[in-house]
Amino acid sequence: MKNIFTFFVLIFITTTVKAQIGSTKSKIIQENKNYSIEKTDDGTDYISFVVEFENYNQQVACYLTEKEANKEQLCFRVLMIEPSSETNNWIRFFNEQNFVKLAGMTWKDYEHSIVYEVVVKDGNCLVHKYYDTKL
């Protein structure tokens, strides 16, 4: 039963994870009813929202490109925060996707040029996802 649950979680993660990088600000807002728009200390805009799972909530922040005239902002980096109990599910997901392990808890999806970094801190699993053009 646990394997079936993990399978469904991984399917949801796959669709959620791949959909955000490159998405427009308006698309992210349209897909997430309860969101807030905030700024980092360096002035970067980001949209934060919560994804509710059966036994926990995932906090998500989509960082946006700089505002330019006649151009919509795009998501270029995502931070997902979950309970540290989800760390093994993320590691299993990255390994099952055959992403290349770069170091420690960092993987790269070369097909889509996306890097994933996992950090466990203060009882949370932080997953950083960003576009990377380096080889």
pTM, full prediction: 0.81
Q: Could you report the per-residue pLDDT of 78-107, keeping only the tens digit for each?
A: 999 999 999 999 999 999 998 999 999 999
Number of domains within the chain: 1
Query: Rounded mean pLDDT of the chain?
Result: 87
**pLDDT band at residue 19 using 50, 70 and 90 as cut-offs:** low
Amino acid at 63: Y
Q: What is the CATH number of the domain that holds 88?
A: 3.30.1460
Tell me the residue range of the domain where 118 lies.
2-131
Question: Does residue 27 contact residue 49 with C-beta atoms inside 8 Å?
Answer: no
> pLDDT at position 33, please?
83
